[in-house]
Amino acid sequence: MASMLQFFPILYLPFIFIYCTAFKSNLKPYIVYLGSSSNGNGGEDLSHLQLLSSLIPSEESDRISLLQSYSHAFKGFSAILTENEASRLSGYDKVVSVFPDPVLKLHTTRSWEFLEAVDDKFRSIHPSNEHKSSDIIIGVIDTGIWPESPSFSDEGIGKIPSKWKGVCMEGSNFKKSNCNRKLIGARFYNKNRKGSPRDNIGHGTHVASTAAGAPVDNASYYGLALGIARGGLPSARIASYQACLTDGCSGSVILKAIDDAIKDGVDIISISIGISSIMQSDFLNDPIAIGAFHAEQRGIMVVCSAGNDGPDPYSVVNTAPWIFTVSASTIDRNFQTTVVLGNNQSYEGTAINFSPLTHGKAYPLAFGEKVAASFTPAFDARNCIPGSIDPKKAAGKIIVCVNEDPNVSNRIKKLVVEDAKAKGLIIIDTEGQLLPFDSGTYPSAVIGESTGSRILSYINSTKKPTATILPTKVVPRFKPAPVVAPFSSRGPGGLTENILKPDIMAPGVAILAAIVPKIIPGYSPPGNKTSLFSIRSGTSMACPHVTGVVAFIKSKHPHWSSSITKSALMTTASVSNNLGKPLTNSSDYYANPHEAGVGEISPIRALDPGLVFETTVQDYLYFLCYFGYKPKILRSITNTNFSCPKISAEKFISNINYPTISIASLKKNEDIRKIKRVVTNVGSSNATYTSNVEAPPGLKVLVFPNRLNFSAGLKRAAFKIFFDGKEASKGYNYGAIKWFDGLHVVRVVFAVNVE
Ligand SMILES: *[C@@H]1O[C@H](CO)[C@@H](O)[C@H](O)[C@H]1NC(C)=O
Ligand SMILES: *[C@@H]1O[C@H](CO)[C@@H](O)[C@H](O)[C@H]1NC(C)=O
Ligand SMILES: *[C@@H]1O[C@H](CO)[C@@H](O)[C@H](O)[C@H]1NC(C)=O
Ligand SMILES: *[C@@H]1O[C@H](CO)[C@@H](O)[C@H](O)[C@H]1NC(C)=O
Ligand SMILES: *[C@@H]1O[C@H](CO)[C@@H](O)[C@H](O)[C@H]1NC(C)=O
Ligand SMILES: *[C@@H]1O[C@H](CO)[C@@H](O)[C@H](O)[C@H]1NC(C)=O
Ligand SMILES: *[C@@H]1O[C@H](CO)[C@@H](O)[C@H](O)[C@H]1NC(C)=O
Ligand SMILES: *[C@@H]1O[C@H](CO)[C@@H](O)[C@H](O)[C@H]1NC(C)=O
Ligand SMILES: *[C@@H]1O[C@H](CO)[C@@H](O)[C@H](O)[C@H]1NC(C)=O
């Protein structure tokens, strides 16, 4: 599955001119991070250049130039350096970290690989008449924006908030007038002639419209998923920062975009981008983690996607505790594609296709291995591997393929059978049914294994098997939903297992949102105008759902800090599906917190969470102490006299006041482990909460005190949780502590690795 999800070819050196110099020696772009900005006024370029000239030999003075310079929320720059220069620089006193400028990837899947559904949950939050303006500004760091989309109309929206200090940059095919009271800002960083804030890929447009798109009536993907498309908070403003082009997203540019967004005055930053999970090395070598830290310092929440490298464990990225990390789920709509066999038996599959075939006419049906090219192994032909199908045998037929080779995506199978002049494609792939495969006008259906074996035995049972594939219909209220998307990256986090990641799950499969209207041959039904909306899947699509919900919560609770908002969402998330059963993964097993985080986001409940866990910048600094950073480094990233606690060990990370609890290692023979938390009451002042523990058999969990009475004017209360793993089974044990006051359930999820 993972290989199918790679869409954007990644070039490791994003700027052409770097190629030229790179051949000279081991020169490459580095990010040099210098910690907190002293005044926040900008204008550090001179001192950055001085630093460079102290390092670079004068005969190479052409290299004394800054690719990017950061000076608003934090200090630093990117420049072309040798490895030796980079390593010398990292020894300088004021330097926090120096690391090669990484190329990050968008957390989306191929646009046409999947199909849509509108998210009823978010629609139901907003009565359709609620479209007044809000002063909440969402910064979207992505591929830019297609400003003409109806999702960015500013009709009915009031004047631009006075706190906004950003710009609408002009560029190729992008004028100041492309911004409006909805799309209030747009920046780009590509300095060549074609540079422009304009989105030519579609990802940024999709993500921005999911977070804050204006309501658009009758939105659909060529008639499918027809309804009102709208963002999480349709009245919020959008500022677009283009950090990704077709060759990926340069880390130094993402960092610049975050610095700009903070300076411009955004309230929330949405980043559906991440470093590859195998390349994560450190929190302070990760441009998103660095930028997000400084955003959080200024009260700006950063919401990020968890990545699409699931279902392997340790694949989650963007795992710093100050980031809100989002995994992806399915929603309750199915894109049903019916296969009718010659015996009139019909079967429901999934796909998105605008098949021209009808019920009236059937076509010969054949299993891939029965139309194999000569000297081709049966395995290759039944998997429809390129070169394995004989056009002489397959032409005019509907071909059945299986999915035993993860390297051959549905899209490749489609190209293979289409190339062999086959009439259509049926793919047997139980898990693939969850991710509607978009085959455009080519007839296709993905069916489960039990249906598949029935179709294969039908083929066996008759001399002239035939079938037809009908165009897709959307089936609402599909059950079960939500289900963890198979591609969604899984915890535990590779950098530390003492913070539970991902945090929360949101819809990320088959999401309908605005797109760059482009004609893709073979994908739009003949006679239709190019669609303004499209269906995409990925944690990229889940992230802006959370961003939109955070904006919604902020609009109702303007004084809540980002950690209060995050806690409110995390302790109230939904843990059951629409069958009333516990959430599952795509193999129909209980979805554990390393797959689903605390569960599916539940915006309305989060408005009234009762108790919240406030995580302060000091907590995050303690986290970095426990993780192993020297106090000197932490003083530079905060510009304060900060000192680490006297005793420091990685296991103390579990004591950071986070809304979940994770213990990387609880030895069976160790004493009871004590974890501390402090809750803040944001509900009625006379509340009394009692605790209740859900733990797997063998793991002893005790909460003390088990009653919290806030009547005496108390705002905060501390409690301890004792974990005893002596009789627990080895490996991760998952459970939750629930505080209940008769009105609110405050659910604190834990994951404890017993060794
Ligand atoms: C668009 O939706 C409205 C209802 O919101 C409906 O009356 C109208 O017929 C729709 N238009 C089209 C072209 O489908
Ligand atoms: C596209 O065309 C199909 C049939 O040709 C029609 O049913 C559908 O409504 C059209 N969709 C749009 C968005 O034009
Ligand atoms: C299948 O159904 C159609 C009408 O729906 C009928 O005309 C045809 O004879 C049936 N074929 C068989 C094999 O039952
Ligand atoms: C898929 O590709 C990988 C690497 O290219 C290879 O190691 C693996 O064997 C392939 N899987 C199959 C089933 O061919
Ligand atoms: C179809 O028949 C072949 C032998 O002709 C057999 O190997 C295969 O298992 C049969 N498949 C099904 C699904 O009955
Ligand atoms: C679902 O969970 C089960 C049990 O934990 C696991 O064996 C399986 O691999 C998971 N499936 C996916 C797709 O993650
Ligand atoms: C830092 O510490 C010094 C001496 O301990 C003190 O004079 C100074 O005020 C402190 N600065 C801050 C920002 O706390
Ligand atoms: C707590 O106070 C609220 C008003 O703030 C009141 O409606 C409620 O009845 C009180 N509950 C108890 C148990 O006293
Ligand atoms: C909470 O404390 C108040 C006073 O401190 C007391 O009157 C009340 O009975 C307590 N409530 C519970 C449920 O213990």
Amino acid at 695: A
Which pLDDT does position 196 carry in this prediction?
A: 97
Q: Cite the beta strand spans of 501-543 per DSSP E.
A: 504-507, 511-514, 533-536
Query: Does domain 105-332+498-579+596-607 correspond to CATH entry 3.30.1330.40?
Result: no
Say whether the peptide bond before residue 102 is cis (omega within 30 degrees of 0). Answer: no
Q: Please tell me the distance between residue 462's alpha carbon and the centre of ligand 5 in angstroms.
A: 12
Which pLDDT does position 2 carry in this prediction?
A: 34
Q: Please tell me the distance between residue 678's alpha carbon and the centre of ligand 8 in angstroms.
A: 23
Q: Which residues fall within 8 angstroms of residue 494, CB to CB, at 6 or more apart?
A: 277, 280, 314, 316, 319
Equal fold, 28-101 vs 611-615+657-754:
no
Q: How far apart are CA 325 and CA 597, in angstroms?
A: 9
Question: CB under 6 Å to ligand 3: residues?
Answer: 343-344
Number of neighbouring beta carbons within 10 Å of residue 584: 18
Q: How far apart are CA 433 and CA 430, in angstroms?
A: 6
CA 55 from chain centre, in angstroms, equals 39
How does DSSP classify residue 530? P
Which pLDDT does position 444 carry in this prediction?
A: 96
146-178 burial, b for 16+ CB within 10 Å, e for fewer? Answer: bbebbbbbbeebeebbeebebbbbbbeebeeeb
Mutate to test the pocket of ligand 3, among 338, 343, 344, 470 (most ligand atoms within 8 A of CB): 344
CA-310 nearest atom, ligand 6? 14
Q: What is the pTM of this model?
A: 0.90
DSSP letters, 404-465, are --TTS-HHHHHHHHHHTT-SEEEEE-TGGGGS--EEETS-EEEE-HHHHHHHHHHHHH-SS-
Number of the ligand closest to the Cα of 643:
7
Mutate to test the pocket of ligand 8, among 608, 682, 684, 688 (most ligand atoms within 8 A of CB): 684
The finding on whether 618 has its CB within 6 A of some atom of ligand 9 is: no
Return the CATH fold of 334-476: Glucose Oxidase; domain 1 (3.50.30)
- Residue nearest atom 5 in ligand 9 by C-alpha distance: 712
Which pLDDT does position 525 carry in this prediction?
A: 84
Mutate to test the pocket of ligand 2, among 528, 529, 531, 535 (most ligand atoms within 8 A of CB): 528
- Residue nearest atom 6 in ligand 2 by C-alpha distance: 223
pLDDT digits (tens, 9 = 90+) for 304-360: 999 999 899 999 999 999 999 999 999 888 899 999 999 999 999 999 999 899 888
Q: How far apart are CA 69 and CA 479, in angstroms?
A: 50
CA-585 nearest atom, ligand 6? 1
Catalytic residues: 142, 203, 540
Q: Cite the beta strand spans of 330-397 per DSSP E.
A: 334-341, 346-350, 352-353, 363-367
CB 79 within 8 A of CB 52: yes
Which one, of 146, 141, 145, lies nearest residue 251 by Cα?
141
Q: Cite the beta strand spans of 567-706 per DSSP E.
A: 611-612, 661-666, 673-681, 688-694, 700-704
The finding on whether 379 has its CB within 6 A of some atom of ligand 4 is: no
Which pLDDT does position 125 carry in this prediction?
A: 40
The finding on whether 456 has its CB within 6 A of some atom of ligand 5 is: yes
Mutate to test the pocket of ligand 6, among 1, 314, 587 (most ligand atoms within 8 A of CB): 587
Q: Please tell me the distance between residue 335's alpha carbon and the centre of ligand 3 in angstroms.
A: 26
Chunk the chain into consecutive blocks of 10 residues (it has 755) and report each block's average pLDDT, rounded to whole numbers.
34 40 72 84 80 89 91 93 94 92 78 27 39 83 97 94 97 97 97 92 95 90 86 92 93 97 98 90 94 97 95 96 97 92 94 90 96 95 95 96 90 93 95 87 95 96 96 88 94 96 95 88 82 92 95 95 98 94 95 97 94 97 96 89 93 98 95 96 95 97 97 92 96 98 97 97
Number of the ligand closest to the Cα of 223:
2
Q: Please tell me the distance between residue 25's alpha carbon and the centre of ligand 7 in angstroms.
A: 45
Which pLDDT does position 41 carry in this prediction?
A: 65
- Residue nearest atom 8 in ligand 7 by C-alpha distance: 641
Would you state the structure tokens that stand for residue 302, as one six-digit string?
Answer: 């950063």
Q: Please tell me the distance between residue 222's alpha carbon and the centre of ligand 2 in angstroms.
A: 5
In three-state secondary structure terms, 90 is helix
| Interstrand relation of 137-142 and 237-242 (parallel, antiparallel or unpaired) | parallel
Which pLDDT does position 278 carry in this prediction?
A: 85
Which pLDDT does position 42 carry in this prediction?
A: 64
CB 211 within 8 A of CB 550: no
Number of the ligand closest to the Cα of 405:
4
Q: How far apart are CA 374 and CA 34, in angstroms?
A: 63
Number of the ligand closest to the Cα of 346:
3
The finding on whether 712 has its CB within 6 A of some atom of ligand 9 is: yes
Which pLDDT does position 134 carry in this prediction?
A: 81
CB 332 within 8 A of CB 121: no
Which one, of 115, 660, 44, lies nearest residue 435 by Cα?
115
Q: Please tell me the distance between residue 122's alpha carbon and the centre of ligand 1 in angstroms.
A: 21
Which pLDDT does position 39 carry in this prediction?
A: 65
Which pLDDT does position 23 carry in this prediction?
A: 47
- φ/ψ of 260, rounded to 5, equals -65, -45
As to burial, measured by CB atoms within 10 angstroms (0-12 exposed, 13-18 middle, 19+ buried), residue 49 is middle
CA-586 nearest atom, ligand 6? 13
Which pLDDT does position 527 carry in this prediction?
A: 78
> 28-101: which CATH architecture?
2-Layer Sandwich (3.30)
CB 451 within 8 A of CB 430: no
Mutate to test the pocket of ligand 2, among 222, 357, 470, 524 (most ligand atoms within 8 A of CB): 222
Would you state the structure tokens that stand for residue 272, as one six-digit string?
Answer: 């559906």
Which pLDDT does position 694 carry in this prediction?
A: 97
Which pLDDT does position 526 carry in this prediction?
A: 80
The finding on whether 128 has its CB within 6 A of some atom of ligand 1 is: no
Which pLDDT does position 40 carry in this prediction?
A: 59
Question: For the chain, what are the domain ranges?
Answer: 28-101, 105-332+498-579+596-607, 334-476, 611-615+657-754
In three-state secondary structure terms, 748 is strand
- Residue nearest atom 13 in ligand 2 by C-alpha distance: 222
Q: Please tell me the distance between residue 653's alpha carbon and the centre of ligand 6 in angstroms.
A: 28
Number of the ligand closest to the Cα of 642:
7
- Residue nearest atom 3 in ligand 9 by C-alpha distance: 711
Q: Please tell me the distance between residue 712's alpha carbon and the centre of ligand 9 in angstroms.
A: 8
pLDDT digits (tens, 9 = 90+) for 207-254: 999 999 998 988 889 888 888 888 888 899 999 999 999 888 999 999
Which strand (E) or helix (H) includes residue 633? helix 631-638
The finding on whether 688 has its CB within 6 A of some atom of ligand 9 is: yes
Which pLDDT does position 24 carry in this prediction?
A: 56
Return the CATH fold of 611-615+657-754: Immunoglobulin-like (2.60.40)
Q: Please tell me the distance between residue 526's alpha carbon and the centre of ligand 7 in angstroms.
A: 71
CB 429 within 8 A of CB 410: yes
